[in-house]
A and B are shown apart, each in its own frame.
Chain A
Amino acid sequence: MSRDQIIFVAFLFVFAVINIYLFGSDSLSADWAGFGTFLAAGITLSLYSFLYKDNPLFKFAENLYVGVAAAYTLTQVWYTVLFPDVVEPLSGLDSQSMSNLWLIVPTLLGLFMLTQLSSATFSWLSRIAFAFVVGLGAGLSIPRTIAANLLAQLEPTMQPITPTWEGLNLLIILVGVVTVLVYFFYSVEHTGPVGVASKIGIWFLMISFGASFGYTIMARLSLLIGRVGFLLEDWLVLELPLF
């Protein structure tokens, strides 16, 4: 047996022994809730086993995750979109309620997308649906982008600069915005004054990225703490003051 195989078997053995003890001592209830905790702990450890190296347990958890996610998405789409918004209104159509007839148009567009999977005879139909989606997306995003990325940034930047801390703050923001904008100029060579401004812009970007990095790492650590808390408190039923 190779070293990896020994570790793998030992891990499974320890996991089995712990769970037998937990179920035997009634620390985990012998019902669906207890089974859920056992399963969640097993999948969590399987996914964390990737930190050692790729292994059959990780592969199992990965494929299970992908499969469950696909099935979950399918049920979500069916119960929240297809059935209430398409099947139900269209199946209830009669001479009295023809107002839902317009639903045929988006339904057809959706069906056209599936023609992508068919032969070349029909697959061209999918382009109509894709053109609609891409065109609509681009059209909707233009005013939204102007409002959110231009106007909403311009107005708070163009504020009176006063000889106060707030004024200094505004000045730093103005210098940051101007120099970062200079960095994103593509049609001029970044040399001379433009190069200097662009370098200052990069500094502003990197400082903000550093802050963002630290902030996000904090959030990720809290996720890790949550998972470790689950393993220690919910699965192993240890009374720890930390979590």
Chain B
Amino acid sequence: MRYFLCCITLVFCAAQAHAQQPTGVKAEDTPNDSGGSITVVWDYPESYEKAEQIRYIISVGEFENGPFHSAKYNEANLQSTDPGTFGHGEETSQKIFARITAYVAPTDPPKRIAIENGKTYYVQVIAHLPSGESFPSAVASAEAYENFFNTLKTNNFVLGTIFSLVILGGIILAQKRDLFIRRIAGLEALDEALGRATEMGKPVLFVHGLHDMGSVSTIAAVNVLSRVAHRTAEFNTELRVANRDPVVMAVSQEVVKESYLNAGRPDAYSDDMVFMVATEQFSYAAALDGMMVRDRPATNILMGYFYAESLLLAETGASTGAIQIAGTDSYTQLPFFITTCDYTLMGEELYAASAYLSREPKLLGSLKGQDIGKAVLLIVMILGTLLATLGNQTLTHIFTAY
């Protein structure tokens, strides 16, 4: 009887110990990365009442039978917090995961050896219980490699493709018939402001923002500059274009030259019309302030992405009595332009400006396409909120940025 009880106790203890061993251990290449990383996943030990106190050590070896070297340990209650990889479902709370990018060098412990691509590694998860006991898991193996396509960005890719197609459709539509575009006050005033400069015999100062040619607002500003230069060429008004970036300056020179050529006034163009002021933010502002006060341009046009210098420029311009038209997509600087300029193109109005001014089918069509895109997003947003309120967050998850 005693022997039987001992056997039962031993079997029970072994079963208990086995229950604490990490189960369902899987190792795989970390998805959507540039390699050098392995992801280890195992089950959350729900049956163990002190599950939250378990400490895990993940060991990595180059051979199935070891030796294994410590790679990473996680706090006991670490759960899956990467919905991009593991999804949003309830089942993710039943898993624990860890990303391994390096392990301790066996010969030189403080140093760590990085995980190499294309090499098989063997991984073991060791659970350390609060009682001091340790339970190693079964060994799992994985190979890290570079992922050609980042599936987390699929929604980005699909949205980009759909919007591109919609814009292309808009362009085709614009080539077939006239498209309506609503009035944009700031742009309606552009001719009036240039006309005023002509009447007063004073120059027009066009000020670029601080961003380089990679910025959408700079590209939009260059488009507006093209129109302004065309008009100043027609009106025979002096134009000055201030730049902070040498590449923007060179592009602006080309654009202004072309506009003067198109207006039939190539003789009126001079390279000196488009000039570098300064490369630093506040020296740029100080120099432009000086120009505004000394030359007293009748019209100041500030287009592009501005930072803290926006108020310095616009306030000085306002004090000289110039008509000021500003356009920026810099959210933090818009209030300053709104308070100090006569007209302000807010955010996307700056992008729409070139289409509005030129009435070119290509630009008008892309504006139409953007409007369709916005309408789609608007519907998605309202529908997504309704569904989320009803307890279904599928649409919210589809439109999540990873």
Contacts and interface: CB of A to CB of B under 8 A. Distances in A.
Same complex origin of A and B: yes
B346 to A, nearest CB: 7
Contacts of B204: none
Interface string A54-88: 10001101100110111011000000000000000
A224 to B, nearest CB: 13
A186 B182 CA distance: 5
Interface in A117-139: 126-127, 130, 133-134, 136-138
B246 A157 contact: no
Contacts of A97: none
A210 B278 contact: no
25 contacts: A62-B286, A62-B289, A62-B290, A66-B277, A70-B279, A130-B247, A130-B250, A134-B219, A134-B251, A137-B215, A151-B156, A151-B159, A158-B395, A158-B399, A159-B385, A162-B389, A177-B381, A185-B374, A186-B184, A187-B179, A187-B182, A189-B182, A209-B335, A213-B339, A216-B335
Contacts of B389: 160-162
Contacts of A178: 378, 381-382
Interface in A140-176: 140-143, 145-148, 150-152, 154-155, 157-162, 170, 174
A111 to B, nearest CB: 13
B89 interface: no
Interface in B323-354: 331-332, 334-336, 338-339, 346-349, 352
Given A69-B283, A116-B253, A157 B385 contact: yes
Given A160-B388, A178-B381, A151 B399 contact: yes
B391 interface: yes
A22 interface: no
Given A150-B377, A160-B391, A188-B371, 14 more contacts: A54-B294, A62-B283, A127-B254, A134-B213, A134-B219, A137-B212, A141-B214, A141-B215, A151-B401, A160-B389, A162-B389, A187-B179, A187-B180, A216-B335
Interface of A: 47, 50, 53-54, 58-59, 61-62, 65-66, 68-70, 72-73, 113, 116, 126-127, 130, 133-134, 136-138, 140-143, 145-148, 150-152, 154-155, 157-162, 170, 174, 177-178, 181-182, 184-190, 205, 209-210, 212-213, 216, 220
B280 to A, nearest CB: 4
Contacts, number: 188
B245 to A, nearest CB: 10
A52 B266 CA distance: 41
Interface string B238-258: 000000001100110110000
Contacts of A141: 214-216
Contact of A159 (B153, B216, B396): B396
A219 to B, nearest CB: 9
A158 B388 CA distance: 7
A221 to B, nearest CB: 13
Contacts of A170: 385
A127 B247 CA distance: 10
B381 A155 contact: no
A182 to B, nearest CB: 8
B82 to A, nearest CB: 15
B368 interface: yes
Given A160-B389, A184-B348, A186-B371, A155 B253 contact: no
Nearest to A202: B346
Given A70-B278, A146-B160, A184-B347, A126 B250 contact: yes
Nearest to B182: A186
Contact of A152 (B368, B374, B395, B401): B401
